[in-house]
Structure 1
Amino acid sequence: MKFLLFTLLCSVFVPVSVDAPGEPVTIRVTVNKDAILPCTVKNPQRVEWKRNDQLVHLFQSKEDYLINQDKHFKHRTSLFHEEMIRGNVSLKLTNVTELDAGSYTCSVPKLESQVWRDFINLTVGEYS
């Protein structure tokens, strides 16, 4: 059984304080399948998903804002808009490739000087 694991940490905001949610979650997915990267927060107004310095998905002002999305992720990401009222800001990444493996960050500003972050490690390979 082969699989690739790239661990890339990402930090975008420079907040005065950060809420640390705990240990990173690891998601395993088979090549060409879809992955759901979990993230749950209260009252999300802006949600930013990143991998390293790549913008994976941005939600703000009640809509997806994908103009600056990294081209590698174009037309392959979505959020569960109907679930956002319950705090579910999980990312769906479709047609996963080995290049998608790595560490993803879900960042949600809470107050002007605070950012909530969650870290998800995605491993991609041949799983049975």
Structure 2
Amino acid sequence: MTRRADFVAANRGLRVARPGFVLLSRPNGGQGIRYGITVTKKIGNAVVRNRMKRRFRELLRAALPDAGLADHDHVLIGRDGGVERDFAQLGVELAIALDRATAGKGDPPRKSRTKPRR
């Protein structure tokens, strides 16, 4: 996924939080299994962010063909401390997150960040 609109749409879908990342999943209307990765500047400098994205990309390439939800967008959002986590442990956490997403057992929705109108 490359378009911002796809990432924003995925944010309205199912959310599964793990210690190293947050997995978002949302049906995409028959476009197949797609994935996107987001790592913000809060995580670290460019070297750290790129390392985390490379690790996430490899995890998703290995896991999505077997465990991914068909015709869904999957977005991984990096969390602070995720780059220091063991790669094998991240793989186990991703498998657990995908199982929870398949079962529809997401975390409660986040509160709206918009300000109330007066």
Q: When the two structures are superposed, what TM-score results if normalisation uses the length of structure 1?
A: 0.30
The structure carrying a bigger helix percent of its residues is: 2
Q: Which has the higher contact order (CA 8 A, sep 6+)?
A: 1
Q: When the two structures are superposed, what TM-score results if normalisation uses the length of structure 2?
A: 0.31
